[in-house]
Copies of this chain bind each other. A is one copy, B any other.
Amino acid sequence: MSSSVTGAAAGSGGVGGFGAGGDDGGSNNDKRKRLAYKRLTSAQTAKLEKYIIDCPHPDEAQRRQLAEEVGIEPKQVKFWFQNKRTQIKNQHERADNNALRAENERIQNENLLMREALNNILCPFCGGPPSTDEDHELYVQRMALENAHLKEQASQNYSFNGLTEIYNIY
């Protein structure tokens, strides 16, 4: 659709066709197109993408050579690298986003489990909150001290240690 008014953009007069017509790949290209806007062939894109891996920031000389090698104008090479860098950046951002979401879910699950675990810990003595509570801790410590003192008294008053018996009751 769209009222393709192709004329408008062409004012520049052809932008000097890149005579790239006979590309090696020989892929596609059957529609009539004389516009300044031209899509790169898959072969050209492949070369550029292969190049950008080792050298994301080619200088002008490198760009010129690459332009000749690929068959496009140095200007286009410059544009291509600029746009490609932003594209890669966006892709990274998107990947990070996904990773973050996954990590978030994992951590949230862990969080829930730990919350539950903390809530399920109840003191066998006071039946109250766990030892993170100061009062409870005091309570337990008193109990321990009481126990120790009782043991001591018991051992002082009796010549034998009756605790063994107690331990083995169960």
Interface of chain A: mostly helix, strand, loop or mixed: helix
Q: Per-position contact with B for A144-170: 1 when CB-CB < 8 Å, else 0?
A: 111101110110010000110011011
Question: Chain B contacts of A115 at CB under 8 A?
Answer: 114
A: number of interface residues (CB 8 Å): 67
Is A123 an interface residue, CB under 8 A from the partner?
yes
Is A25 an interface residue, CB under 8 A from the partner?
no
Question: Chain B contacts of A96 at CB under 8 A?
Answer: 97
Taking a contact as CB atoms under 8 Å apart, the answer to whether B11 and A64 are in contact is no
Stretch of A39-47, A49-57, A105-113 on the interface side:
A105-113
Is A88 an interface residue, CB under 8 A from the partner?
no
Question: Chain B contacts of A97 at CB under 8 A?
Answer: 93, 96-97, 100
Interface residues of chain A, those whose CB is within 8 Å of chain B, are 1-3, 5, 8-13, 15, 33-36, 60, 64, 74-75, 90, 93-94, 96-97, 100-101, 103-104, 107-108, 110-111, 114-115, 117-118, 120-125, 130-132, 137-138, 140-147, 149-151, 153-154, 157, 162-163, 166-167, 169-170
Question: Chain B contacts of A118 at CB under 8 A?
Answer: 114, 117-118
Closest chain-B Cβ to A39's Cβ sits at a distance in Å of 15
